[in-house]
Amino acid sequence: MSTTRDEQGPKRGAWQPTWAMRRAVLVLVVAAGLALVFGRPEIALVVLPFAVGTAAAWAGQQRRPRPTVQVQMPSMAEEGIGRSATISIGGLDGAELAVLRVPAGIGPGPPDGPYVVLAADLPNRQLTFTVDSGRQGIRAFEPAGLRVACADGLFATPVVITHTSAVRVLPPARAVQVPELPARSTGQVGAHRTRRPGDGSELLDVREFRPGDRIRRINWRVSARRGVLHVRHTAIDADADLVICLDTRHDLALDVATWHERPTGTDPAGRSLGIAIEAASVLAASYLRLGDRVGLVDLAVPYRGVRPGTGVRQLMRIRWHLAGTVPEPLLRRRLFDEGSVPTGATVVVLSPYLDAQIDPLVATLTRSHRDVLAIDVLPAPLRMPADRAELAAARLVLAEREERLAALARRGVLVSRWDPALIGVLMRRRQRARRAG
């Protein structure tokens, strides 16, 4: 909630005479003076309605209240789904009209402009607006402003403004059809089948009772039929981990000539980081829906990320982090700890693979984890620069990038651009090849 900011000091909200008041005094004094000095009664007659109207307005004014304004914005919103914001105005007693400046992004907007002028016939008013959430990310809204006036505009308060408001717009949690992840070799809970015998739910066969078998695993029906105690022989259950590594160092647009500019992160549409965030959100939603454990790792900033977990709250946690992701040009991560990337987890690295700094990190992951997916999030098709020198440099960088991706593929890393269907096909093909091999 954003409340009135006390930036005008002790005179905040105090009524002040306006240009209209000064004009009334000036015109009446000049007219009366000229009429008296030059003996011209028609000058006095001309300002009669002016004087009567001003006197009536002055007599009817009550300048008691001090206006207040409060903006109640939602702290969180979904991308593309509007939320309600409330602006409460108080202290309108004695005022005739109130001019409210609604922050851009909520309220009427163009072509009507940000101002709404209200009749101050009630002491308090509450307005409900729809917040245009826009793209994912942290969206800052300008402060709201309020000015009230009375007596034909002879008196008005200074503009009372609120603090700025921020709304975290979460990326979409769109789940897609994804192939099953390979189960972890450790742990004995989860939604995945394994071939390892143990205390699980998947039936392998029914065998004779041996010392050490649990009583509750006895299959009484088979035991009664055969006359000897038999137990259910099961395979242990296992869970699968997916760790999404987000390379937040680059936020590249389609126009190669703009790559040298420092990314602001204000308009993620069509940029590499926006694609990476969307991919991370979709993968997290898809695998969490299947009951897998999903975690998030920021390659640039070690302390940013979400440890693997399951459930709806984990999805919300990941989306919350993704919404607050901003470009971070420095690569500060050198190692992966077991907490953030468990052994046996499937690792997805979302990056444009533009520089060599990513290579050792992916190599580390390849050595310690079975399945590493390199998802290329560079937007396409690129617009190459017109300048010859810039064009040559861009071609060199892109050629190195292609070579880097080819080297990753040779190392056994599954390389693909961001396309859920294509990634699913490649993962299934690899799983079939692994089973056959």
* Out of 5, 70, 76, 82, the residue judged to bind other proteins by CB under 8 A: 82
The answer to whether 329 contacts other proteins (rule: CB under 8 A) is no
* Out of 69, 77, 98, 244, the residue judged to bind other proteins by CB under 8 A: 98
* Out of 83, 147, 192, 369, the residue judged to bind other proteins by CB under 8 A: 147
CB atoms within 10 A of CB 346: 22
Contact 51, 28 (CB under 8 A): yes
* Out of 117, 166, 176, 228, the residue judged to bind other proteins by CB under 8 A: 117
Name the CA radius of gyration of the chain, rounded.
34
The answer to whether 154 contacts other proteins (rule: CB under 8 A) is yes
- Pairwise CA distance, residues 327 & 17, whole Å: 49
The answer to whether 107 contacts other proteins (rule: CB under 8 A) is yes
DSSP-assigned states of every residue in 81-146 = --EEEEEEEE--TT-SEEEEEPPTTBSS-TTT-SEEEEE--SS-EEEEEEE---SSEEEEEPPPEE
The answer to whether 80 contacts other proteins (rule: CB under 8 A) is no
Region of 393 (left: φ > 0; alpha: ψ -120 to 50; beta: rest) is: alpha
CB atoms within 10 A of CB 162: 24
Query: Smaller CB distance to other proteins: residue 151 or 178?
Result: 151
Contact 236, 188 (CB under 8 A): yes
- Pairwise CA distance, residues 349 & 293, whole Å: 16
* Out of 18, 223, 234, 368, the residue judged to bind other proteins by CB under 8 A: 18
Shortest distance, position 154 Cβ to other proteins, whole Å: 7
Shortest distance, position 188 Cβ to other proteins, whole Å: 52
* Out of 149, 242, 365, 372, the residue judged to bind other proteins by CB under 8 A: 149
- Pairwise CA distance, residues 244 & 246, whole Å: 6
Residue 54 CA neighbour count, 13 Å, CB half: 16
* Out of 20, 257, 290, 382, the residue judged to bind other proteins by CB under 8 A: 20
The answer to whether 203 contacts other proteins (rule: CB under 8 A) is no
The answer to whether 141 contacts other proteins (rule: CB under 8 A) is no
The answer to whether 24 contacts other proteins (rule: CB under 8 A) is yes
Shortest distance, position 2 Cβ to other proteins, whole Å: 18
The answer to whether 156 contacts other proteins (rule: CB under 8 A) is yes
- Pairwise CA distance, residues 272 & 250, whole Å: 7
Shortest distance, position 158 Cβ to other proteins, whole Å: 12
- Pairwise CA distance, residues 315 & 295, whole Å: 9
* Out of 2, 4, 54, 286, the residue judged to bind other proteins by CB under 8 A: 54
3-class SS of residue 70? strand
Which amino acid, 84?
S
Nearest Cα to Cα of residue 329 among 306, 301, 304, 349: 301
The answer to whether 47 contacts other proteins (rule: CB under 8 A) is yes
Q: Determine the size of the site formed for other proteins (CB under 8 A).
A: 61
Shortest distance, position 118 Cβ to other proteins, whole Å: 6
The answer to whether 53 contacts other proteins (rule: CB under 8 A) is yes
Beta carbons within 8 Å of 100's beta carbon, 6+ residues apart? 69, 87, 89, 115, 116, 117, 118, 127, 144, 145, 146
Which amino acid, 87?
I
Instruction: Build a one-symbol-per-residue string for 383-402: x at contacts with other proteins by CB under 8 A, - elsewhere.
Output: --------------------
**Residues 25 to 44 in contact with other proteins, rule: CB under 8 A:** 26-27, 30-31, 34, 38, 40-43
- Pairwise CA distance, residues 136 & 131, whole Å: 13
Query: Smaller CB distance to other proteins: residue 149 or 301?
Result: 149
The answer to whether 106 contacts other proteins (rule: CB under 8 A) is yes
Beta carbons within 8 Å of 388's beta carbon, 6+ residues apart? none
- Pairwise CA distance, residues 332 & 357, whole Å: 10
The answer to whether 191 contacts other proteins (rule: CB under 8 A) is no
The answer to whether 124 contacts other proteins (rule: CB under 8 A) is no
Give residues in contact with other proteins (CB under 8 A). 18-20, 22-24, 26-27, 30-31, 34, 38, 40-43, 45-50, 52-54, 56-57, 60, 82, 96-100, 106-109, 112-121, 125-130, 132, 147, 149, 152-154, 156
